[in-house]
């Protein structure tokens, strides 16, 4: 990509996400010169950049699911944050056996994890059914769980915060044994690799793109577009479940009100920032992953600038609006009008596919 001409670079799919990431990192380096310093303290890696990568893990996992949903249905799943809370609540409740705070597992860990993932998959299936089978706009369909999800999570935990004070439970959000790298990073990497492999090795990725580009046409060539859309929502749900388990392991509890709060916005932002068109169709998993790290870097930067958690959404909302405006047809036409020489050159279709 480096040796091609400037125009080709700027029109590549991954151009926007990489530029954004570099911009955010540059700001950080200027503000805090030791941003890239990585040291080992207490036997674990320590530093700003490690923190960003660690904290971004849930977001990366969510962004992968959101990318697939966006590509197939042309809409976003805004219930992912709530689904995280549901999965965490189910998992912790099974582990605690109904008590609010335990120091020992009451049920096997594997059972809890499976139940949590199953609950998340059910949430995804519910969304998928509404969207794929009943043809309801994705955001309205997922709005139901967006609001009801945290209530359901409260219901599961009886309105309390369930604490699991067991070391092996803290591993998923902390460190495994003497490994200096935080575990969530592995979760993120493994998830991305598995999903990428599935998409590459099977035709699923291609199917999802074709359903997203033109559902009717995909159906006419023999693809079961309903099933594929449904599947993306189930995958998105399961991934949200994994993210929920990691998030709950970090705080070794199920806090129904705060797990995954406002993360749906970050996930959508990551997908948009990754150069994916929010109206569906072609997608780039790598773009979304880069987008997710960019968002987390941005969040960390804003925190470092003493912006409170409640106020963060303002800046993120502005970024979203700018990105979708840049992506919009009207804006592209406007640019094309400016560059009237080679009108076809501006359509960002070229570039390497990730």
Partner 1 sequence: MKQKKKMTSTGFLLLITIVLFFVMYAAGMVIFADKGFAKPQMFLNLFVSNAGLLVIACGLTIVMITGGIDISVGSVTALVCMVMADLMENKGASAYVAVLAALGIGLLFGIVQGYLVTYMGIQPFIVTLAGMFFGRGLTAIISTDMIAIKNKLFLKWANYRFYMPFGSTNKKGKFIPAYIPPTVVIALIVVLLCAILLKYRKFGRKLYAIGGNKQSALMMGLDVKKTMFKAYVLNGFLAGLGGFLFCLNSCAGFVEQAKGLEMDAISSAVIGGTLLSGGVGTPIGTMFGVLIKGTISSLITAQGSLSSWWVRIVLSALLCFFIVIQSVLASAKKKK
For the CB of residue 35, give the shortest distance to partner 1 in the complex, in Å.
25
For residues 110 and 150, what is the distance between their CA atoms, to the nearest angstrom?
A: 24
x/- letters, 150..169, toward partner 1 (CB under 8 A): xxx-xx---x----------
- Residue position matching structure tokens 């890696």: 45
For the CB of residue 307, give the shortest distance to partner 1 in the complex, in Å.
9
Burial 296-333 (b: 16+ CB within 10 A, else e): bbbbbbbeeeeeeeeebeeebeebbeebbeebeeeeee
CA nearest neighbour of 75 among 127, 23, 16 = 127
CB of 36 or CB of 331, closer to partner 1: 331
User: Exposed, middle or buried: residue 257 (CB in 10 Å: 0-12, 13-18, 19+)?
Assistant: exposed
| Of 35, 48, 146, 293, the one binding partner 1 by CB under 8 A | 146
Residue 318 makes contact with partner 1 by CB under 8 A: yes
Evaluate whether 106 touches 262 at the Cβ level (below 8 Å).
no
Residue 134 makes contact with partner 1 by CB under 8 A: yes
For the CB of residue 259, give the shortest distance to partner 1 in the complex, in Å.
15
For residues 70 and 22, what is the distance between their CA atoms, to the nearest angstrom?
A: 25
For residues 299 and 37, what is the distance between their CA atoms, to the nearest angstrom?
A: 19
For the CB of residue 179, give the shortest distance to partner 1 in the complex, in Å.
36
For the CB of residue 320, give the shortest distance to partner 1 in the complex, in Å.
4
The pair of three-digit structure tokens given for residue 33, joined into one six-digit string? 């010169």
| Of 139, 196, 304, 336, the one binding partner 1 by CB under 8 A | 139
What sign does the CA torsion over 220, 221, 222, 223 have? Answer: negative
212 to 271, contacts with partner 1 by CB under 8 A?
Answer: 262, 265, 268
| Of 114, 140, 203, 220, the one binding partner 1 by CB under 8 A | 140
User: Exposed, middle or buried: residue 267 (CB in 10 Å: 0-12, 13-18, 19+)?
Assistant: buried
The pair of three-digit structure tokens given for residue 126, joined into one six-digit string? 């519910």
For the CB of residue 303, give the shortest distance to partner 1 in the complex, in Å.
14
Residue 349 makes contact with partner 1 by CB under 8 A: no
CB of 54 or CB of 76, closer to partner 1: 76
| Of 25, 94, 238, 278, the one binding partner 1 by CB under 8 A | 278
For residues 140 and 90, what is the distance between their CA atoms, to the nearest angstrom?
A: 25
Catalog residues that contact partner 1 under the rule CB under 8 A.
75-76, 78, 130, 134-137, 139-141, 143-148, 150-152, 154-155, 159, 262, 265, 268, 278-279, 308, 310-318, 320-321, 324-325, 328-331
């Amino acid at each position: 990509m480096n040796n091609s001409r400037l125009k080709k670079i700027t029109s590549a799919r991954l151009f926007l996400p990489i530029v954004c990431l570099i911009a955010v990192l540059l700001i950080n380096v200027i503000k805090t010169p030791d941003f890239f310093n990585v040291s080992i303290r207490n036997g674990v890696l320590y530093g700003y950049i490690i923190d960003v990568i660690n904290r971004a893990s849930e977001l990366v996992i969510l962004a992968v699911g959101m990318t697939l949903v966006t590509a197939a249905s042309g809409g976003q799943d805004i219930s992912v944050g709530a689904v995280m809370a549901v999965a965490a609540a189910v998992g912790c409740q099974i582990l605690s056996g109904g008590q609010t705070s335990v120091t020992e597992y009451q049920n096997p860990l594997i059972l809890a994890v499976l139940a949590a993932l199953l609950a998340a998959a059910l949430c995804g299936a519910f969304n998928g059914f509404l969207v794929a089978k009943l043809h309801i706009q994705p955001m309205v369909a997922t709005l139901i769980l967006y609001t009801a999800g945290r209530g359901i999570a409260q219901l599961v935990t009886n309105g309390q915060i369930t604490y699991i004070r067991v070391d092996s439970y803290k591993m998923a959000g902390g460190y495994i044994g003497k490994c200096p790298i935080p575990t969530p990073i592995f979760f993120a990497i493994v998830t991305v690799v598995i999903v990428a492999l599935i998409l590459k090795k099977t035709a699923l990725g291609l199917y999802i793109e074709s359903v997203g580009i033109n559902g009717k046409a995909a159906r006419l060539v023999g693809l079961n577009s309903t099933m594929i859309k449904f599947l993306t929502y189930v995958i998105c749900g399961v991934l949200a479940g994994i993210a929920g388990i990691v998030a709950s392991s970090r705080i070794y509890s199920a806090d129904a009100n705060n797990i995954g709060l406002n993360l749906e916005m970050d996930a959508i932002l990551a997908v948009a920032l990754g150069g994916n068109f929010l109206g569906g169709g072609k997608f780039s998993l790598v773009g979304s992953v880069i987008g997710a790290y960019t968002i987390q870097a941005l969040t960390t930067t804003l925190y470092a600038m003493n912006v409170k958690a409640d106020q963060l959404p303002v800046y993120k909302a502005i970024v979203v609006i700018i990105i979708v405006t840049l992506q919009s047809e009207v804006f592209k036409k406007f640019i094309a009008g400016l560059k009237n020489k080679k009108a076809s050159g501006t359509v960002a279709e070229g570039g390497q596919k990730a």
